[in-house]
Structure 1
Amino acid sequence: MAEADVQLHDFKNIFSLEGKVAVVSGGSRGLGLHAASGLLQAGCSKVFITSRKASACEEAVAALNALPNKRPGARAYSIPADSSKIAEIERLVKEVSKHTDHVDILFANAGATWGAYFDKVDEKNGWDKVMDLNVKGVFFTIQKFAPLLQAKATTADPSRVIVTGSVAGIGVGSLGESAAYSYAASKAAVLHLVRNLAVELGPRGILVNGIAPGFFPSKMANVLMERAGGVEELNKANPNGRLGKAEDIAATVVFLASRAGGHVNGDTVVLDGGKMLGSAKLERL
């Protein structure tokens, strides 16, 4: 019996993404680009990068294709698109379909934020733009890619959807001068969308999970980080003594996309070093 219990199926390759095809929205910088790098280095044969700015996509793809440890023939592709517009998402799917007949991994990462005092939040920029990209865009990106995600998916080898939420969608986000009400609400919405879509799409061979990062140095987060005291102060505030790093995002996405994450569905991985829990601790007597 003991001998049978220690026999694990091809465990040395359990994190491998050998030959998989991935799409990363918001992939030209920050968390999306970290994840795209991890996906390629874990064995993906094709990784499609999309974001609004063509020049940023091209620059990201050039850096990805220069990685020295990709699999032979592996390649990143640039397909710029505005994920807040359904017509643009449909065009993205058509462009991806020119290069592949299926998609194994969709990292729905495109997002935006807007900060202002409560009384100064406006409808168009402060609310609608954020919700259109962070919620509507995520849902319809998943919907439009579903046929490609289903194309080769099986119960034994399901496709994966990974959605970027935020700790702001679980706890309380930024308030005051940097208050991001629409961002926090949008991230709570997509993390609940993950739970609903996991049940809807699981029987179709598509697993859906979320990640909820805390502070990671990035263009989007840097202003907030400075207002919160800067990197050193934020490092000290985390129970594990540091902020997030590129490898933390890349490794989590690879885990959820690989055979290692094959029984995780409808869940959210919090990547904040314990900050939310630490912030809620009782004062020592």
Structure 2
Amino acid sequence: MSASIQSGELFDVKGLIAFVTGGATGIGLLIAQALEANGAIVYIFGRRQQSLDQAVKTAKNGNIHAIQGDVTNKADLERAAKQIQSAHGYINIVFANAGIGGPSLAGLKPEASIEELQKHLWNWGADDFTHTFAVNATGAFNTVAAFLQLLDLGNKQGNVSQKSQVVVTSSIGAFNRRPGLGYSYSASKAAVTHIFKQLATTLVPYDIRANIIAPGFYPSELTVKTLEEREKTGWSKSEVPAQRAGDAQDIAGSVLYLASRAGSYVNGNVLVTDGGRLGVFPATY
């Protein structure tokens, strides 16, 4: 009998056990909702209990579960892994989604003098850079490290046909030569993109895959101001060819593809979902 090419089977995530850092808000919540609405059991991880509680209430099937913690705290990640192991014994997919911004050029006039530019850049502290990397790069790396044995057990469980996987939410900022949300933000996203490409190679002997999602403008705490402005002015083709921000369906399509049988042949891939923005800006992608 030939293999099924019905979309309902190709993109099926029923019974998948998933973990999403930064899963209470923004893209992380959209990831969690997309998986849970289609039959997965999802654990979301974040610092703010109130946001976690609100996110849990959005579950369609009662299968979004909250774990409070911080990705910069290895003990918190280890505790989360142990909680999921106790409940299920394994995991199938981990989304390292938690991220923050950093110091940016916001507030600097386009016509700023060289003196004003120097002052703006010089006023940034070293901690402004290192904390962004601690969350966006080191935090994502440690998230993977905390769950490796559970991901291996997911392969051995065999509850789904696709191999276990780790996915990081990077950003088109990793490739865009305009600093956007800031140099440390963009650099941290470039770093974590490369880390996950390396993980895709490192984890080959263990049948654990690693992939990257690189979003453009999506609703999140980092894009609130821009999205509010564009609600009034609209989007130009020169800014985003699709002339809109990404929405829940856009991120769900990417997530369901990677998490299901449909994306099971994908490893070390960068999935850009930006409405064409990288095509109209100087970029290295």
Residue of structure 2 in register with 1:51 after alignment: 46
Q: CA deviation at 1:13?
A: 0.5
Residue of structure 2 in register with 1:273 after alignment: 275
Does the alignment pair 1:119 with 2:107?
no
Residue of structure 2 in register with 1:82 after alignment: 70
Q: 1:235 to 1:213 in 2, by over 3 A?
A: farther
Q: 2:47·2:68 contact (CA, 8 Å) conserved in 1?
A: yes
Does the alignment pair 1:105 with 2:93?
yes
Instruction: Quote the Cα distance in structure 2 between the aligned partners of 1:205 and 1:247.
Output: 29
| Cα root mean square deviation, aligned | 2.1
Q: How does 1:4-19 map to 2 (within 5 A)?
A: 7-9=2-4, 11=6, 12-19=8-15
Q: 1:163·1:209 contact (CA, 8 Å) conserved in 2?
A: yes
One-letter code aligned to 1:190? V
- Identity percentage of aligned residues: 33
Q: How does 1:236-255 map to 2 (within 5 A)?
A: 236=237, 237-255=239-257
Q: CA deviation at 1:8?
A: 3.1
Q: 2:162·2:260 contact (CA, 8 Å) conserved in 1?
A: no
Q: CA deviation at 1:141?
A: 0.5
Q: Secondary structure at the match of 1:152?
A: helix
Residue of structure 2 in register with 1:147 after alignment: 149
In the TM superposition, what whole-angstrom CA distance separates every residue of 1:128-169 from its partner, at most 9, and x where no partner exists? 211111111100110110100110316953012110000001
One-letter code aligned to 1:55? Q
Q: Secondary structure at the match of 1:144?
A: helix
Q: CA deviation at 1:10?
A: 5.7
Q: CA deviation at 1:96?
A: 2.1
174, 183, 186: which one aligns with 1:169 = 174
Q: Secondary structure at the match of 1:133?
A: helix
Q: 1:225·1:234 contact (CA, 8 Å) conserved in 2?
A: no
Q: CA deviation at 1:201?
A: 1.3
Q: How does 1:82-231 map to 2 (within 5 A)?
A: 82-116=70-104, 117-124=120-127, 126-153=128-155, 157-174=162-179, 180-225=182-227, 230-231=230-231
Q: Which runs of no fewer than 5 residues in structure 1 stay unpaired?
A: none
In the TM superposition, what whole-angstrom CA distance separates every residue of 1:163-219 from its partner, at most 9, and x where no partner exists? 0000001122435xxx51111010001111111011111331211100111111222
Q: TM-score, normalised to structure 2's length?
A: 0.85
Instruction: Quote the Cα distance in structure 1 between the aligned partners of 2:256 and 2:178.
Output: 27
In the TM superposition, what whole-angstrom CA distance separates every residue of 1:50-93 from its partner, at most 9, and x where no partner exists? 111111111101222xx2xx3xxx51111011001212211221
Instruction: Quote the Cα distance in structure 1 between the aligned partners of 2:73 and 2:178.
Output: 26
Q: Secondary structure at the match of 1:77?
A: strand
Q: Secondary structure at the match of 2:137?
A: helix
In the TM superposition, what whole-angstrom CA distance separates every residue of 1:223-280 from its partner, at most 9, and x where no partner exists? 3556xx5344435422122211121112211110100001110010111111111235
Q: CA deviation at 1:220?
A: 1.5
9, 22, 26: which one aligns with 2:22 = 26
Q: 1:152 to 1:279 in 2, by over 3 A?
A: closer
Number of equivalent positions: 262
Q: 2:77·2:143 contact (CA, 8 Å) conserved in 1?
A: yes
Q: TM-score, normalised to structure 1's length?
A: 0.85
